[in-house]
Amino acid sequence: SRKEAAQRTMKLHPMWQQPIAVPGGHCQSPIDIVVRKSVFDSALKPLATDYDPETCQQIWNNGYSFLVEYDDSADKSTLKGGPLQDQFRLCQFHFHWGESNAWGSEHTVDRRLFPAELHLVHWNSDKYSLFEEAVSGDNGLAVIGVFLKVGKRHEGLQKLVDALPAIRHKGSVVEFTRFDPACLLPSNTEDYWTYHGSLTTPPLTESVTWIVMKQHIEVSHDQLAVFRSLLFTSAEEEVQKSMVNNFRVQQPLCGRTVRSSFT
């Protein structure tokens, strides 16, 4: 088809053919966080996460990233506080990364790129009864973004890294239990930027309260290399494409204010 021909010429994975714009989308993500333009808000509280490792269910390759999914049928792994008024349930976390350590994050800080970015995705269980409803609802989602830097090995991440070879191909899933995602948060959960934005993949809905942590976490070069051993493609496809550069480019701020919880 013309679309496939266009994708072939653009040599882009269908997913990452950057949509030119979302019709009427003035609150898109990710963005560049300009530190000196962020506005300190003393009303912003520390994050209050309360994650239950027993709700961890599986890890799978969805052809764009790998997701660790949690049982969100009850208020067991929750996020409150920060900029949020309501209680949010953790449904999954995943990462975005580059083919090299020079880039890979979705958000940037004063144009600085990080090699990867963790997203912990939560939905508003005070307002909605399902993630699918919250995705397109007002104040539906809260996503915590954590930057990754290459340095010392992250002991908590290793259990996840060891599971990746079993889900190399798109569509593969394995059981993954008793993982506490709190171990992936930086020690300082008081300092963050927050702004109103969107999902960074389709449906790109503008239902997200973004919470981007100021402090990064460190992972080793070898741990990040295992992320890059994953594939965008399923086992049947004749051409295997390595899962790298699965990030969206920064979007216009369109007059939005980024608040900071710290001075």
Ligand X SMILES: O=C1NC(=O)[C@@H](c2ccccc2)S1
Q: Please report, as ranges, the residues that interact with Zn ion according to CB under 5 A.
A: 119
- Choose between 40 and 130: whose C-beta lies nearer to ligand X: 130
**122 touches, from Zn ion, ligand X, none (C-beta below 5 to 8 Å by class):** none
Q: How far apart are CA 200 and CA 180, in angstroms?
A: 24
- Choose between 201 and 245: whose C-beta lies nearer to ligand X: 201
In the complex, the smallest distance separating the C-beta of residue 136 from ligand X, rounded to whole angstroms, is 11
**84 touches, from Zn ion, ligand X, none (C-beta below 5 to 8 Å by class):** none
Kind plus residue range of the DSSP H or E element containing 157: helix 155-161
Report the residue closest to ligand X, judged by CB: 199
Q: How far apart are CA 167 and CA 161, in angstroms?
A: 11
Establish if 143 lies at the interface with ligand X (CB under 6 A): yes
Binding ligand X (rule: CB under 6 A), the pick from 172, 201, 220, 245 is 201
Give the angle subtended at the CA of 65 by the CAs of 197 and 166, to the nearest 5°: 155
Scanning residues 86 to 125, which ones bind ligand X (CB under 6 A)? 119, 121
Q: How far apart are CA 192 and CA 212, in angstroms?
A: 5
Distance of CA 147 to the CA centre of its chain: 10
Shortest CA distance to 71 belongs to which of 61, 57, 88?
A: 57
Applying CB under 6 A, the residues found at the interface with ligand X are 119, 121, 143, 199-201
